[in-house]
A and B are shown apart, each in its own frame.
Chain A
Amino acid sequence: MANSIEIKNVSKSYGNTVALKDISLSVNSGEIFGLIGPDGAGKTTLIRILATLLLPDKGSAVMTNYDVVKDYKKVRSSVGYMPGKFSLYQDLTIEENMQLYATMFGTTVEENYHLVKDIYSQIEPFKKRRAGKLSGGMKQKLALSCSLIHKPEVLLLDEPTTGVDPVSRKELWEMLKKLKNDGVTVFVSTPYMDEASLCDRIALIQAGEILGIDTPESIVNSFDKTLLSINSSDKYKLLNDIRSYEHCNSAFPFGESLHYTDKRTSFDIPQIYEYLRNCGNTNVEIAVIKPAIEDCFMNLMVGE
């Protein structure tokens, strides 16, 4: 299958701040590719380079066979881009924004209505409302509709689900799945690790570096350590104690509990239990759990 996006050794700095370090990755045509990492990891910079809005310091990127620097005009007409910040006209209505974007790309809303129907029909009852007065989820649905209306081959989405309620998040992802079935390549960034499993392949990015690229399953399967979930009455004390444990590899708070990996390849859980008890922790509970993407991310971060 042909590659829709081909990024080779891209680096980018803002003054002394390094945003991207020697990034290389390729996205297959017709897949949902997730760029997953925390705020400030370089996700937006990478997407903006692909959207021809920024120039890479080093390296090159090719979108649908067009170079993002040399053939930026061709890239611009074949790409749908949805910036992280809501970037439609707040003083125009839903309908006016849609028509403006359709006309700007030389098409009409009617012509490509089938592409956006699923998502646009949800906000269409409010089409006379100004975009500035919409809720977060509705804004993102409108922005997605506008970036889709010209039938792009590749869709670049910068954190489309940030600031969106859980129901709308789910709907947005279902929409992306449908687009994929229509043959659109989707490149999406998100800080939410739980969305990783919704992508065909993901790249974990941290501090401008790719930690790993694979399918979500393979990334989870590559987790080669025993992961423990530890709980006790005083979580703060527990975290400090376990981190000062001599065999501790990593320990991160995860919601209600603490996720722990050990440096040793084989070890006894009672031994850890004993250690924590001796430190004065009460109600200590330890269980072996299956790792999630977030654990893999943390593990890869520690490995770095």
Chain B
Amino acid sequence: MKQFRAFVIKEFYHILRDYRTLLILLAMPPILILLFGYTITNEIQDAKIAILDYSKDATTSSIKSKLLAGNYFKLEYELNGLDEVEAIFRKGSIREAIVFESNFEENLAKTGIANIRIIADATDPNTASTLLSYTSSIIKSYLDEINENVEMPYSINTEIRMRYNEELRGAYLFVPGLITVILMLVSAMMTSISITREKELGTMESLLVSPMQPLQIIIAKMLPYLFLAIIDAVIILIVGNAVFGVPVRGSVLLLMVEGILFIITALSLGLLISTITSSQQVALMMSLMGLMLPTIILSGFIYPISNMPQIIQWLTHLIPAKWFNLIIKSIMLKGAGLDILWKETLILAGFAVFFISLSLKKFNIRLQK
């Protein structure tokens, strides 16, 4: 036990004395949050649209003014014919075109059905679908208003409500996602580098010829980074809440426990990398390409998993970050508890046990395999 304690203290010295790396590790989370928060966002603001109104009656103009009332849409062009729509999209500045059929008011009054065509630039599909849902919900709310004055109001109330994130705030999506990514980065990359550094500098040679057990070495290596990763998670939660108002609706304690579980999984992945590489550079590249990219792309952090091809969706089951991302989002945004998340938690725990035992088995007690 005394050996173990001395070893943990030594690891803390390594981290604290390499103050540049420490600074990066502590400054990175808030910087990333601010960058993501202010640049990568799905929120709609002043989206430029074009309107082609064949009818030009009272109803269409009130729908138009309703659309343009908020700061979501900005009317850029009034068009005169359908042929102009294509040309204006080609120019690239218009995200959406709205076409009112002729005799719009008359059709609505007589048959109760009037047609609006909404054309969106789907080169950016996420923005396009958001724009479409904004537009249709504004039109629906107009319909609701006029239905009130009709004698027999029949409203087809297909309200689209963005649950848990009513305003479709990007921050709600990326703060939990960012915690996932940063925990992965700090834990996996730093441990893999820290062990390969011992190999590269030759200190592993002295370490092996000592009574220290592999398990002791491994856990002692993990502890300081576990500590550091928890600090990072707390920083992100605080900044996310203070700057972007992202709440933690569920239990903070549960969030921390799940976080620690995920950190242990990531740490053991880092260990696994360090057991199969012998230079810090290779370890760095492997953690970046082998862990970071899948974490960012396949965890559902940026790209919705439901939009992926079926095969890739199956593949995401193998990404521990995907499960943690599900857990952390549910706890933070839905206030879910362990009664709902026990399955995901078990899967994550399974990953942790699997990777730790694998890296223990692969840990070289000699300088060769």
Contacts and interface: CB of A to CB of B under 8 A. Distances in A.
B367 A53 contact: yes
A53 B17 contact: no
Contacts of A104: 3, 6-7, 207, 210-212
Nearest to A91: B17
A219 B280 CA distance: 46
Contacts of A100: 6-7, 10
Q: Most chain-A CB neighbours within 10 Å: which of B2, B209, B210, B365? A: B209
B56 interface: no
A91 B21 CA distance: 14
A86 B211 CA distance: 20
A88 B14 contact: no
Interface residues of B, number: 25
A76 B365 CA distance: 11
Interface residues of A, number: 31
A73 interface: yes
A71 to B, nearest CB: 13
Contacts, number: 79
Nearest to B369: A55
Given A89-B10, A99-B6, A106-B3, A76 B210 contact: yes
B10 A87 contact: no
A112 to B, nearest CB: 15
Contacts of B109: none
Interface string B134-146: 0000000000000
B202 A86 contact: yes
Contact of A91 (B13, B206, B208, B366): B13
Nearest to A86: B202
Contact of A103 (B3, B201, B208, B367): B3
B204 to A, nearest CB: 8
Contacts of B13: 89, 91-92, 96
Contacts of B7: 100, 104
Nearest to A146: B206
B209 A76 contact: yes
A76 B211 contact: yes
A133 to B, nearest CB: 12
A83 interface: yes
Contacts of B201: 87, 90
A81 B204 CA distance: 12
Nearest to B368: A54
Contacts of B366: 52-55, 72
Given A72-B365, A88-B203, A81 B6 contact: no
A83 B204 CA distance: 10
Contacts of B209: 51-53, 76, 79, 81
Given A99-B6, A106-B2, 8 more contacts: A48-B367, A53-B209, A77-B211, A87-B203, A89-B13, A91-B17, A92-B13, A96-B10
25 contacts: A52-B209, A54-B366, A55-B366, A81-B205, A83-B205, A83-B206, A87-B202, A87-B203, A87-B205, A87-B206, A91-B13, A91-B17, A92-B10, A96-B10, A99-B6, A100-B6, A100-B10, A104-B3, A104-B6, A104-B7, A105-B210, A106-B2, A106-B3, A106-B211, A147-B206
Smallest CB-CB A-B distances: 7 pairs: A87-B202, A103-B6, A85-B202, A81-B209, A53-B367, A87-B206, A83-B205
